[in-house]
């Protein structure tokens, strides 16, 4: 069995009481497949410590133990390590600086400055020639989607999406103005 948690549970509780134990275990494996080995190990420890009875734990009990293990991992992370490096002050400052270059002025003139700023922030560098087309395309996709929202094609979400789009346009304008700054 490839899932270590389920293998541990089978050793302790035996096969689940099901007409098709293999399919049953496969379904549970799919249910908990997104958890890391560490989380599965913690979940197994918790189940072995807390499960009452000799029968195989229920799928919901197993899933809940995995979710609890993930939540406890999240609580153990220090606040400093929670910060996505792409959103660090240093990365944002680098992006602010690098958009004040000729490529930044071009991006501002052509409407893809926000995509450029995001690219720099995430990658810590200016894009290479072959990467610029994707940034232009991303900006065009936003413009097309925003135009659709303005036409009311998002139904009941149109007003909310319009406001969200306005925040992106405000950022785009802010970064466009920054490209003229040389400070």
pLDDT tens digits, 117-126:
999 999 999 9
Q: What is the pLDDT of residue 22?
A: 92
Q: What is the pLDDT of residue 40?
A: 94
Residue 166 scores a pLDDT above 50: yes
Average pLDDT over every residue of 143-162:
93
Mean per-residue pLDDT over the chain, rounded: 89
152: Cβ contacts below 8 Å, ≥ 6 apart: 158
Average pLDDT over every residue of 72-90:
67
Token look-up 């390590």 returns 81
Give the torsion sign (CA, 141, 144, 150, 155): negative
**Is pLDDT larger for residue 81 or for residue 165?**
165
pLDDT band at 169 (very low <50, low <70, confident <90, very high): very high
Residue 76 scores a pLDDT above 80: no
Q: What is the pLDDT of residue 79?
A: 55
Residue 142 scores a pLDDT above 90: yes
Cα 156–161–162 angle (5° rounding)?
A: 105
């Amino acid at each position: 069995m490839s899932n270590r948690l389920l293998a541990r549970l089978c050793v302790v509780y035996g096969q689940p009481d099901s007409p098709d134990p293999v399919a049953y275990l496969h379904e549970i494996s799919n249910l908990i497949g997104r958890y890391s080995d560490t989380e599965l190990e913690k979940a197994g420890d918790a189940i072995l410590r807390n499960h009452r009875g000799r029968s195989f734990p229920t799928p919901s009990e197993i899933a809940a133990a995995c979710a609890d293990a993930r939540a406890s991992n999240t609580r153990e992370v220090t606040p400093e390590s929670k910060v996505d490096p792409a959103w660090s002050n240093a990365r944002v400052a680098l992006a602010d600086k690098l958009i004040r270059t000729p490529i930044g002025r071009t991006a501002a003139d052509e409407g893809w400055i926000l995509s450029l700023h995001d690219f720099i922030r995430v990658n810590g560098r200016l894009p290479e020639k072959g990467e610029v087309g994707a940034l232009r395309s991303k900006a065009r996709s936003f413009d097309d989607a925003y135009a659709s929202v303005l036409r009311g094609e998002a139904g009941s979400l149109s007003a909310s999406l319009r406001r969200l789009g306005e925040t992106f346009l405000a950022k785009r304008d802010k970064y466009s103005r920054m490209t003229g700054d040389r400070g």
